[in-house]
C-alpha cells in the first residue's frame, strides 16, 4: 500500500483492469502522456520514485534502453493472464487523503510536474459527475475522456471505450459515430469541437443524451 507504479498502457479494458487492481492493493498509479519519449519516461521515474512498472509489450522494450526503468524491482506485462489459482486480496482501506493517482504534466511551460490526486478528490469528482450523468436507468455510455469511463463504471453503467485515433487524445469522429450505432449508445460525452464533428454523421433521431464541456477558464 502506498507504493507508486508507473503505468504505460493505452486506453483499453486492460488499462481499467490495471487501475482497479492497483487501487484494490492501495497502490498509486503513475501516468505519463501516451506520446512521451524515452527521456520523459526516465524523468517520470526520477520524479515519482515508483516501485514497479506495468506496460504493454512495446513499453517493456524501454527497459533495454533506460537504466532508470530497468532498475525498478517489479515489472509486469499488462494483460498477461494469471497463472494458477491466485487468492484475491482483500481491498486495502486507505485514508481519504492518501494519494490515488499521480500524473505528470506535459512540460510545455517548463519541466513536467507531478500532480497527485487523492482518493477524496476522485470520490468527490465521481459524486459531482454522477449527479449530472445519472438518469435513473441503465445507460450505455461512450466517453471520449478516460476519467468519464471511470465515472460511468462507478455508476454501474455499461461503458463503450472509444477506438484509438491516429494520435492520443484525437479520436476519429467517423469511428465514434459508427460505434454509437453498433453499441446502441445512449449517452455520448465529448468536447464541443469533437461533438460538432460527430453529430452531422449521426443524422436525425438518434435520441442521444449529449454532454459536453471543457476546462474552466479563469478571469
Task: Over range 124-149, report the average pLDDT.
Answer: 86
Residue 108: pLDDT over 60: no
161-189, pLDDT tens digit by residue? 988 766 655 778 999 999 999 999 999 99
pLDDT of res. 82:
64
User: How would you label 61-74 residue by residue, b for 16+ Cβ within 10 Å and e otherwise?
Assistant: ebbeeeebbeebee
Over residues 54-107, the pLDDT tens digits come to 998 888 887 777 888 888 999 999 876 666 667 777 899 999 999 999 987 655
Amino acid at each position: 500500500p502506498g507504493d507508486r507504479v508507473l503505468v504505460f498502457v493505452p486506453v483499453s479494458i486492460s488499462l481499467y483492469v490495471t487501475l482497479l487492481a492497483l487501487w484494490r492493493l492501495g497502490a498509486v498509479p503513475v501516468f505519463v502522456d501516451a506520446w512521451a519519449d524515452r527521456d520523459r519516461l526516465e524523468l517520470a521515474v526520477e520524479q515519482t520514485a515508483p516501485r514497479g512498472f506495468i506496460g504493454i509489450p512495446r513499453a517493456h522494450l524501454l527497459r533495454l534502453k533506460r537504466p532508470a526503468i530497468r532498475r525498478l524491482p517489479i515489472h509486469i506485462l499488462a494483460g498477461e493472464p494469471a497463472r494458477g489459482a491466485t487468492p484475491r486480496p482483500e481491498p486495502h482501506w486507505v485514508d481519504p487523503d492518501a494519494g490515488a493517482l499521480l500524473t505528470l504534466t506535459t512540460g510545455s511551460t517548463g519541466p513536467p510536474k507531478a500532480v497527485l490526486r487523492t482518493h477524496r478528490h476522485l470520490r468527490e469528482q465521481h459524486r459531482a459527475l454522477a449527479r449530472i450523468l445519472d438518469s435513473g436507468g441503465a445507460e450505455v455510455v461512450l466517453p471520449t475522456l478516460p476519467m468519464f469511463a471511470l465515472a460511468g463504471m462507478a455508476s454501474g453503467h455499461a461503458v463503450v471505450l472509444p477506438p484509438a485515433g491516429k494520435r492520443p487524445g484525437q479520436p476519429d469522429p467517423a469511428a465514434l459515430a459508427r460505434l454509437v450505432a453498433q453499441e446502441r449508445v445512449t449517452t455520448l460525452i465529448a468536447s464541443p469541437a469533437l461533438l460538432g464533428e460527430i453529430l452531422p454523421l449521426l443524422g436525425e433521431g438518434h435520441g442521444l443524451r449529449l454532454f459536453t464541456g471543457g476546462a474552466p477558464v479563469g478571469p
